[in-house]
Structure 1
Amino acid sequence: MKKIISVLSVTLAFLRAFSQDTWFETEFSTKISKDLEFSLTPEIRFKDNFELNEYLLQTGLEYKFSKYFKLGAGYRFGYNINGDDEHESFGRFNVDAKTGFKWKNFNPKFRLRFMNDDDFADDNEAANYLRYKLELEYKIKKLNLEPYILNEWYHDLEAKEFSKSRFEGGLMYKINKHNKIGAYYRVNNYLNSTKDNKNILGLSYKFSL
């Protein structure tokens, strides 16, 4: 355990030197019934100099139809913080279809998400996206570690083009049956845009019942 914490600390310090933003997220989930799960996810996001940039709260429901297929829906509400402590609210609704399977210690996954994104500005219309995410997870059972990599693409349905891609690598540590902690390094690439790409260091905590 001490060796794992030491390795994680050194790795995080190294990645922090290359990251622009730092995100902290938590997830609390519980089963309403055998196949229905409810989740609550608060998140805080900081800019490069640890200046508060955004905070949000997402709720979700997910139903497991079979071993290989799940459907879910969620809503996110949050605030962007601009200069002089000005706040801009935003909301986002999503519907998900998930599939995957387990082979030995590998767990490949695919998620298709429809997302409706609204910043609530009077002169802006809500944008609709399809998001395609591929993820590969590997379980190191003896160490309770779960490293993973993923790639996600955002398809803007109005512009009929891919507007963003995301690459991420991370590691989760299973403390016990209900608790996990983790970290990830994420690169957001903004396509066909003058917006700068972002390198993000994320820390996460998950609690499930």
Structure 2
Amino acid sequence: MEKKYIIILIILGIVSVNYAQTTINEFQGRTSAEIIFKPIKKLSLSFSPELRFDEDFSIDNYHFQLQADYKFSKVFKAGVRYRFVVNPRDVKDTEYASRYGVFLKFKKEFNDFSPFLRLSYTNDADEDFKTERSNYLRYKIGVQYDIPKCKITPAIGLEAFQELSGDGLYKMRYFAGADYKINKKNSIGLDYKFDYYRTSYYNKHIVNLTYKFKF
């Protein structure tokens, strides 16, 4: 029996080493700013420029996003977004893409905790010109924690990307981060995202720094 256990452990070790060697792990940095304007009480408009960097910290592509959302109850809001993407390349012509999405979000406060759920329909999976264009349903769930007498608000959660014209679940995204409220109008956020692709040996690690300004 001991020999059988030893053989099983050896096989599992070989499989895990082989998986680690064949899985590609990509690292990406992102920095963005979000300018938020509320023309009326329940309507919010925002403009968000974003830079994405390769592993060697060179600029990968640019994103410019416009978003509008309307809070039609205490716990529900709906919105639309449009994103214009520029992918500069040294050898080939620059690539351009238009990406859009609509979403419905639920958020409810329970003491210092704020769980949320968001359902989105988009024509992209937050990719950088590396996959064929398709349509996705994105299911995002998480929770924020408002630390008493503290300006830091941490959050954790996950998001599933379901490809409508493909083989179902495309990838999973796990995230954790925190916002720091400088004052009523200014805040900064730092978060980490881990993208796990279910149909290929490929993972992506994303570190994102965001600055928010509210009029």
TM-score range, shorter chain: 0.7 to 0.9
2:143 counterpart residue number: 136
Q: Does residue 208 of structure 1 match 2:214? A: yes
Match among 63, 76, 82 for residue 69 of structure 1: 76
Q: Does residue 157 of structure 1 match 2:180? A: no
Is 2:26–2:203's contact at 8 Å kept on the other side of the alignment?
no
Match among 13, 18, 30 for residue 23 of structure 1: 30
Deviation for aligned residue 1:81: 3.3
Correspondences of 1:1-209 after superposition (within 5 Å): 20-84=27-91, 86-117=93-124, 126-194=133-201, 196-209=202-215
Return the alpha-carbon distance in structure 2 between the equivalents of residues 50 and 137 of structure 1: 30
Is 1:190–1:197's contact at 8 Å kept on the other side of the alignment?
yes
TM-score by length of structure 2 reads 0.81
Deviation for aligned residue 1:150: 1.6
Name the aligned partner's letter for residue 153 of structure 1.
Answer: A
Deviation for aligned residue 1:126: 4.4
Alpha-carbon RMSD across the aligned residues, in angstroms, is 2.2
Return the alpha-carbon distance in structure 1 between the equivalents of residues 90 and 194 of structure 2: 25
Return the alpha-carbon distance in structure 1 between the equivalents of residues 193 and 135 of structure 2: 23
Contiguous gaps of at least 5 residues in structure 1: 1-17
Is 2:195–2:205's contact at 8 Å kept on the other side of the alignment?
yes
Q: If you compute each CA radius of gyration, which structure gives the higher value, 1 or 2?
A: 2
Return the alpha-carbon distance in structure 1 between the equivalents of residues 180 and 132 of structure 2: 41
Return the alpha-carbon distance in structure 2 between the equivalents of residues 135 and 24 of structure 1: 22
Find runs of 4+ consecutive structure 1 residues off by over 4 angstroms.
none
Change (3 A) 1:43 1:63: same
Is 1:28–1:208's contact at 8 Å kept on the other side of the alignment?
yes
TM-score by length of structure 1 reads 0.83
Return the alpha-carbon distance in structure 2 between the equivalents of residues 115 and 204 of structure 1: 22
Is 1:19–1:201's contact at 8 Å kept on the other side of the alignment?
no
- Identity among equivalent positions (%) equals 37
